[in-house]
Amino acid sequence: MHILLKAGMALLLSSLAPAEGFTAKAGCSLETVPKRHLLMVTQPLSSGCLTITELRNSEFFKKLRVTLTGPGGRRLWGKTLDGNIGPWPVQGTDWGLEPGVLWLDVMEGWEFGTHVSLGLNLRTGERLWYADSFTAFRDERSVVINSSPQHSAHSTLKDITLSVYDWASQTLSRRVYTIPDRPGCGDTDEFVREDAAYIQHWIDVRFLYAQRKDACGIFVARFEWRLNPPAAPTILPR
């Protein structure tokens, strides 16, 4: 297993070489890349050049370096982070820019990695948010991080936790959405082990949908996730 992991990482290193598409754009200098680091992203900005690199290691990646340099290559700020960026095929793009903000979806660790979403202030490098799990939804108003597993035989099915970052106010709020039992249909927690395949939740531009099963069958609890504090859901039979 260890030999296979090393071989796989060597293949990944070769596939991420600068010649394969991570070449610096105009206005950015490769001199900003630290020794033993792999260049992942260079992005010219009005304030300078944003660079994201990963520490080279034959067995695993564990460190990211994010740097903003100004005119003449003067470093404005630098931040070292645990983890590495993908691209991860499940959630797609793993970094991006919003007005004044750099966001990243990061895998901390490798074999037993943890999914993390974080945001950095582009002007200062200050961390704006840090939340478990990858980003579930993003638009011009908000970033939504899903902090609840899809299903687990050893955890409650009553609550789903989201972390919502608001671009305008630059605040992160943690919101818990409680799924009610339907009258006369028993307790949804009693069906987790034998009916785990029915348990899922997803998010769109307006709603959080939580699908569950009880003694009366499958149903969906639909929440308006933009409301804070959360309001009672609409129950939809399937």
Please write the tens of the pLDDT for every residue from 172-217: 899 999 999 999 998 887 766 566 677 888 999 999 999 988 889 8
Rounded distance between C-alpha atoms, residue 105 and residue 134, angstroms: 6
Give the strand pairing for 37-45 and 200-203.
Answer: unpaired
Tell me, what's the pLDDT at 134?
76
Size of the chain in residues: 238
68: nearest Cα among 22, 32, 117? 32
Domains defined along the chain, listed by start: 1-132 (2.40.10.480), 142-238 (no CATH)
The tens digit of pLDDT for each residue in 68-85 reads 998 878 889 999 888 777
pTM of the full predicted structure?
A: 0.70
Quote the pLDDT of residue 149: 59
